[in-house]
């Protein structure tokens, strides 16, 4: 069951590879940048913190800064994997085909519009502050 033709698949692969390159570059930049900031923070903290505490804090900061892009990169790489195995464009929730127009706008999409909207509504509810 193929709903995407060769031209469309080639186009999606091109988009995904471009995103992959951009994200990798961005993560690399962020790591370099965060490193400099860490050194500044480190200078002020070494006085009253043990080595281990500082190291943990640095790890946390680094993760927070690049976390979003690492997630995106993971999604893009997963999409490239689905492209290779021929399952790209199949909704992970309802197993229906995702429109090519939607895939071209966001090639790493894992859900059709209907499932995505339903999920966003659910997440919006879950995100309500509990405090
Ligand atoms: Zn769906």
Neighbours of 108 (CB within 10 A): 21
DSSP letter at 96 equals P
Q: Is the pTM of this model over 0.75?
A: no
**Rounded to the nearest whole angstrom, what is the distance from the C-alpha of residue 85 to the centroid of ligand 1?**
19
Question: Rg of the chain's alpha carbons, rounded to an integer?
Answer: 20
What pLDDT, in 10s, does the model give residues 15-58?
999 999 999 998 888 878 766 666 666 666 656 555 666 666 66
**Rounded to the nearest whole angstrom, what is the distance from the C-alpha of residue 7 to the centroid of ligand 1?**
24
What pLDDT, in 10s, does the model give residues 94-129?
999 999 999 999 999 999 999 999 999 988 887 666
**d(Cα 14, Cα 11) in Å, to the nearest integer?**
5
Alpha helices in 1-131 (DSSP H): 6-45, 51-85, 100-105, 113-126
Between vectors from CA 106 to CA 15 and to CA 92, what angle results, nearest 5°?
A: 115
Q: Which residues surround ligand 1, an ion (CB under 5 A)?
A: 91, 93-94, 112, 115
């Amino acid at each position: 069951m193929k709903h995407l033709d060769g031209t469309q698949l080639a186009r999606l692969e091109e988009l995904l590879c471009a995103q992959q390159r951009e994200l990798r570059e961005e993560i690399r930049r962020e790591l370099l940048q965060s490193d400099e900031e860490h050194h500044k923070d480190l200078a002020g903290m070494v006085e009253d913190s043990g080595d281990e505490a500082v190291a943990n804090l640095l790890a946390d900061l680094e993760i927070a800064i690049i976390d979003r892009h690492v997630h995106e990169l993971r999604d893009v790489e997963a999409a490239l994997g689905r492209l290779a195995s021929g399952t790209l464009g199949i909704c992970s929730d309802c197993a229906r085909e995702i429109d090519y127009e939607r895939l071209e706008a966001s090639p790493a999409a894992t859900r059709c519009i209907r499932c995505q909207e339903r999920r966003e509504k659910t997440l919006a509810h879950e995100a309500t502050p509990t405090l």
